[in-house]
Every structure is written in structure tokens, then in C-alpha cells.
Chains A and B, each alone.
Chain A
């Protein structure tokens, strides 16, 4: 299966700073989703952005989608120690009702 790619693989910033993670994909999508995974836990859905949307907000999260570049970014503003986690993007392909293609994740560490 094709994979999404995230960068950076790891990101370490000071509490209060903004964190930006990027996701690139290869084929046309129906939507793109971002998830958070805390250490030893399951994944938690953060935001879903559809292919006809360019930007979405949820609290301190902002997601952008550029379908011409086949890329998305997740911005976390005013980071907190509790934001320390791995963040994954997943793409729902246009030609499949059931497949989500996952990236390898970005490990975010917020230093107090």
C-alpha cells in the first residue's frame, strides 16, 4: 500500500512555542485526517479535512490542505507539555471506501 509521509520524524520545542508538522501523500483523496497517540495509548482523532476544504481549526489546532501539492500541515499553537505525543496523518483515498493510508508519524516533545 502507498504510505503518507510526515516530516519531521521528530520535533522538540519549548512549551509555549508553536509546532508545525507536515504530511504528504501520493494519490487523490476524499479526506485527510490527523490523529494523536500518547505513549502506550490508542490513537485519538483530532481533525478531518475534506478535499474541497483548505483550512480547518479546532481550538489550538489548525490544519491546512493543499491538494495541488498533495500536502497538509498541522499547526499546534501555544504548545503545552500535554501535547507531547506522536501525530499521524491518514488519507482516505478517492477510489476506496475502506482504506485509510497512514504516515509513520511525527514524534512531538514539548519541553517545560
Chain B
């Protein structure tokens, strides 16, 4: 009965590979996000979807592509992984359109690119 779940929790891969991270929320929220947390713990938004529509697309390399098959799922696909992609990636959702209300976070995916 986890509210926001993302898989895998750990992802170790070689440079140049393609990988995906999945996220699902069972809260009935309309808005979902992907955040990247770097080694200094700074959180940076990558993408936001509202009811399957892309709302925020920050300056993120084209190698990152979000996919929202329905409003309960927001997956992140990364092509041609680079060393600098190593970070913790968090999925989140919010109950109303936009971020004016609180976010619910998944437990994170620690990506290590070797």
C-alpha cells in the first residue's frame, strides 16, 4: 500500500547503457514529478506531468525522456548513460494541479554509472 513507489531502488550500470526507472502512485494525484538529487543533496526538478501532459521540462539532456502512460505512472528512460548521471532520482506526486500543495515522494533510485 505504498503511496509513491519507484523501482529499482539501486541501479548500477556501465557508461553508454540505456536504463529505465519506473514510478507509480496510488494516491489519485494528477501531477507527478521527477527530481534529481546530487551528491551535495541539492534537489533539482527535471520534469513535471499533469494528467499525462508535460508541464515542466527543465534543462535536462535529451537523453532523458519521461513517459506517462496514465496519470498514475511516470517512467524515466535514460539513453547513453554518462558518469555525471550518477545521482539519486526521486519520483513525486501532488494532489492538486501544480505544486501549491505538498509533495509525496518515492524512496528514490540510486543510480551509479561506472
Contacts and interface: CB of A to CB of B under 8 A. Distances in A.
- Chain B interface size band reads 20 to 34
Interface residues of A, number: 26
B27 interface: no
Contact of A92 (B48, B97, B99, B106): B99
Interface in A5-35: 30-31, 33, 35
A43 B103 contact: yes
A98 B56 contact: yes
B43 interface: yes
Q: Is the interface of A mostly helix, strand, loop or mixed?
A: strand
A75 interface: no
B99 A97 contact: yes
Contacts of B50: 98
Contacts of A43: 43, 90, 92, 103, 105
